[in-house]
Amino acid sequence: MRRKLEYAAAWPFIKVLGILPRPLSRAFAIALARAFYLLHVRLRRVGMRNLGLAFPEKSAAEQKRILRGVFTSLGRELAEVCQFPKYTLQNVDDVVVYDGLENYEHAYSRRKGVLFLTAHFGAWELSAFAHSLHGHWLHIVMRPMDNPYLDRLIQSYRTLHGNRTVGKDDFVRGLLGAMKCGETVGILMDTNMTPPQGVFVNFFGIPACTASGLARIALRTGAAVVPGFTIWDESLGKYRLRFDPALELIRTGDLEADIMANTQQFTKVIEDYVRRYPDQWLWVHRRWKTRPEGEPPLY
């Protein structure tokens, strides 16, 4: 009953944000997100703790400015998701444009599969959606939302133009099957994990338990690992879907060491983007929650 009530409360906002013209929808969603920032003390504390760990050299005022920007970014993305049913091949370039598409196309042409390395950054939901509108559908690995009614709604939006979702319980089999067929899989690789699914690599110089599955699959299949991030570009007034060249995998012959080294390499790519655009990453996630044995908790 509680989840039905949550859905009933959220649905009018989703409907309104989807009906409004895009500039008004964005403005309304950003206002909602900023209000949420003011009201949600726990998330603010997590965000400020993370920013203090990652950027100890920045003042508290600078950290607060970044955190407020995160909520602005989340509001902007919320509006985009609610507008998904309106977007077509004819108008999607008003929202997001490609930057480095040739890097993706070159990797895809190898026919060994593409692992789309990304994070909860910018408009991560928009990246896969816009890519599918251009005919490049992909498998999306994501954890279901806690509310099953909202989850079904968002899943229907994500898959409007051919995208498919892969549940975390079917992660390995789904990825191996997709790579065998030369397909593309998008993986959000910036959330806290627990062993044995995660290994400890440095993120902002702090050991962070990180999913090692992407490295394992890439080393096993020879699939291309292509970093891709959807960045809000203030000067353009729209997003850029940026694809970098495929990463060169580290192969020494020691499988476990190679998994660790490549997971570190992938995490460094995410860190570099976060450093360049700190107000577009999800600082309110407890990224360093899992600690190496014997270390005290950070939260």
For residues 275 and 54, give the distance between their C-alpha atoms in angstroms, rounded to a whole number: 9
Closest to 246 in 3D by CA, of 124, 135, 110: 110
pLDDT in tens, 232-261: 999 999 999 999 999 999 999 999 999 999
Residue 14 phi/psi, 5° resolution? -60, -45
For residues 29 and 160, give the distance between their C-alpha atoms in angstroms, rounded to a whole number: 22
Q: 3-class DSSP state for residue 35?
A: helix
Dihedral angle computed from the Cα positions of residues 204, 209, 214 and 218, in that order, rounded to the nearest 10 degrees:
80
Quick one: pLDDT at residue 170?
66
For residues 81 and 120, give the distance between their C-alpha atoms in angstroms, rounded to a whole number: 14
For residues 141 and 157, give the distance between their C-alpha atoms in angstroms, rounded to a whole number: 15
Give residue 125's pLDDT band: very low, low, confident or very high (50, 70, 90): very high
pLDDT in tens, 166-185: 766 666 777 888 899 999 99
pTM of the complete model: 0.94
Quick one: pLDDT at residue 18?
93
For residues 99 and 101, give the distance between their C-alpha atoms in angstroms, rounded to a whole number: 6
Of 5-9, 92-96, 160-164, least confident by mean pLDDT is: 5-9
Quick one: pLDDT at residue 19?
94
Residue 170 has what DSSP assignment?
A: G
Whether 96 has a pLDDT exceeding 80, the answer reads yes
Whether 7 has a pLDDT exceeding 60, the answer reads no
Quick one: pLDDT at residue 151?
79
Mean per-residue pLDDT of the chain: 93
Segments making up each domain of the chain, as ranges: 2-280
pLDDT in tens, 19-41: 999 999 999 999 999 999 999 99
Whether 217 has a pLDDT exceeding 60, the answer reads yes
Dihedral angle computed from the Cα positions of residues 40, 44, 46 and 47, in that order, rounded to the nearest 10 degrees:
140
Q: Which amino acid is at 298?
A: L
- The residues facing 231 across adjacent strands are 240
Quick one: pLDDT at residue 166?
79
